[in-house]
Amino acid sequence: MPWHPSLSVGIELIDEQHKEWFKRAEDLFEAGKKGQAKEYIGELLGFLDQYTKKHFADEERYMLSINYPGYDEQKKAHTAFIGQLEKLRSDYQASGGSLTVIIQANKMVIDWLTKHISNMDKKIGDFVQGK
């Protein structure tokens, strides 16, 4: 699931951070193909915890700086994702990296990357271009 220019928001900081997400998703898929997903998922979840919070903070700060009207909706989506991520980390620790947790992580990352970026984040770029 490589980064594609069609997913560009048109804001360099946000696009660069999204590209890093895609790189990590690719790494997870590659680890899965090699039968190493169980080992990699713990590393990925640690990365997501730190990087996601930084990315969301940067994105939210940017939205506030441009008076983006969809800020509240974005903030809710970010909060919900962090909650899902925390549950997934808890499930991972409790299960020791079961196949179910690996599948949930794959689905969560794919859903977020495709749906959130395409449906919500691109609107930020559209708003900036429309100003």
Residue 45 lies in a domain: yes
- The pLDDT assigned to 1 comes to 66
Residue 124 lies in a domain: yes
Instruction: Report whether pLDDT(90) > 80.
Output: yes
**pLDDT over 90 for what percent of the chain?**
37
Confidence of residue 59 (pLDDT cuts 50, 70, 90): very high
- The CATH number of whichever domain residue 30 belongs to comes to 1.20.120.50
Residue 68 lies in a domain: yes
Confidence of residue 69 (pLDDT cuts 50, 70, 90): very high
Residue 56 lies in a domain: yes
Q: Total structural domains in the chain?
A: 1
The CA distance from 30 to 19, in Å, is 16
- Name the average pLDDT for the chain: 86
**pLDDT over 70 for what percent of the chain?**
99
Residue 97 lies in a domain: yes
Residue 5 lies in a domain: no
Residue closest to 5 by CA, chosen among 117, 120, 119: 117
Q: 73-77, 88-92, 122-126: which has the minimum mean pLDDT?
A: 88-92
Q: What count of Cα atoms within 13 Å lies in the side-chain half-sphere of residue 39? A: 7
For the segment 82-105, the average pLDDT, to the nearest whole number, is 82
Name the residue range of residue 68's domain. 10-130
- The pLDDT assigned to 73 comes to 96
Residue 73 · residue 83 · CB < 8 Å: no
Residue 82 · residue 56 · CB < 8 Å: yes
Residue 46 lies in a domain: yes
Residue 3 lies in a domain: no
Confidence of residue 67 (pLDDT cuts 50, 70, 90): very high
